[in-house]
Amino acid sequence: MSSLPDPMSRLQLTEPEAAPAQWPMDLTQLLADFADAPKLPDGLPEPSIADEIWTRHMRRCQPPLTCPVDELRRFVEQWERKFYSMEQDDEAELERLKTVLRKTPEVTEFANSPIARLPPPPLEAREHTTPFLLGWARTPTWQGLFLKACVAVKEEQLADRPWVVVSNDCHIELSRRTGGCYIADMWAVRPDLPLWSDEFSSAYYERLPITDVVMIKTTVGLARFGPTEAQYAWLKEVLGEPRWFRYPYSLEGFKEQKIVRPGI
């Protein structure tokens, strides 16, 4: 039988660089309540007990939450946008992206540039084996704007090449436009949130503040992978400054994905 770890035993919460919008639920207390609840053989509380715990914590939120999935996912997106400075006017952002895409360097310029120096991992990454990811949190709304801008610029510049298509995946299109820079679409949480077990992440994924991250580097994996200076500069023009995130599963869960991971 597996059990939830003490949520504060392996990770010291740190002050973020800028004061974030607060996640509306006290995750430390939530995890403590789950840890104290009677467990089934899979290590999780009985469904009725789990629903009771979630309902109690949702009522503590301001304003109180009512739907265990839709309302929490709405708060996840609001939290994600505010904490990572993603508030934007969609039309203005679309035009900005078109401007950046029109100035995309040639592939040879990307390839001939030296490997970029990237921000070092946070101190928390040295305290345990949970993977940390460097990249950008981007909502589905933003990713849709980026792909829309790609289509618009393609129609401007390559109208005579109908065989050139834009991918439906943001990270694939970013990789293609940088001449093959390794970029992955990963799940992540802020690095200062409490730890929880893999079973907890899997069972309550839609109720936790887990976001999609466009990732370019990890604290585990293959160190020889990484963007060149030219690729990194262009990615920052598109996405802004990257941040470090924590993967919401353990190192073992991360390895089970069997993907090539660009390490530090």
The 10s digit of each residue's pLDDT in 61-112 is 766 666 656 666 666 666 666 655 555 678 888 999 999 999 888 777 777 8
- Kindly report the number of other CB atoms within 10 A of residue 207's CB atom: 20
Of 44-53, 147-156, 236-245, which has the strongest mean pLDDT?
Answer: 236-245
- The answer, yes or no, to whether residue 135 has pLDDT greater than 80, is yes
Strands ordered across the beta sheet of 184-188: 184-188, 211-218, 132-137, 243-246
- The answer, yes or no, to whether residue 48 has pLDDT greater than 70, is yes
Percent of the chain topping pLDDT 70: 72
Measuring CA to CA, how many Å separate 62 from each of 26, 39, 211?
11, 29, 21
SS3 148: helix
The 10s digit of each residue's pLDDT in 223-263 is 456 788 999 999 999 998 999 999 988 888 887 766 555 55
What DSSP string describes 80-97? HHHHTT----HHHHHHHH
Tokens of 261: 């991971």
| Alpha-helix runs per DSSP H in the chain | 27-36, 47-60, 70-83, 90-102, 107-111, 140-157, 170-177, 198-203, 229-239, 251-255
The 10s digit of each residue's pLDDT in 169-197 is 888 899 888 888 888 888 888 887 788 88
Mean pLDDT of 142-167: 78
pLDDT score for 253:
81
In the 8-state DSSP scheme, what is residue 222? B
Which pTM was predicted?
0.76
The 10s digit of each residue's pLDDT in 4-34 is 333 323 223 333 343 344 566 677 788 888 8
- The residues pairing with 213 across neighbouring beta strands, listed in sequence order, are 137, 186
What is the C-alpha separation between 22 and 27, in angstroms, rounded?
A: 11
Do the Cβ atoms of 217 and 264 come closer than 8 Å?
yes
